[in-house]
Amino acid sequence: MVLEGRIARGEIRPGAQLPVEKALAETFGVSRAVIREAVARLKADGRVETRQGAGAFVALVPKSLNFRFWQGDGPALLELREIFELRAMVESSIAELAARRRRPADIAASECFLKAMDDALASGSDGSEADDDFHLAIAAATHNSYAHRLLEFLGRHFSESRRLAWTMPGGNGALPQEAQAEHRLIFAAVAAGDPGRARRLAHEHVRCAARRVGIQLAQDLLGTQSGIS
Residue environment code for 62-94, b if the CB has 16+ CB neighbours within 10 A, otherwise e: beeeeeebeeeeebeeebbbebbbbbbebbbeb
Residue 141 lies in a domain: yes
Contact residues for 66 (Cβ-Cβ < 8 A; gap 6+): none
Range of the domain at 175: 77-213
Q: Give the pLDDT band (50/70/90) at residue 124.
A: confident
Within 21-175, strands assigned E span 48-51, 55-58
Q: What is the pLDDT of residue 214?
A: 86
52 and 98 in a single domain? The answer is: no
94 and 173 in a single domain? The answer is: yes
Q: For the segment 161-175, what is each residue's pLDDT rounded down to a tens digit? A: 777 778 765 544 567
Q: What is the pLDDT of residue 10?
A: 79
- Of 134, 137, 136, residue with least CA distance to 103: 137
37 and 106 in a single domain? The answer is: no
Total number of domains in the chain: 2
108 and 136 in a single domain? The answer is: yes
Measured CA to CA, the distance from residue 29 to residue 41 in angstroms comes to 19
CATH number at residue 107: 1.20.120.530
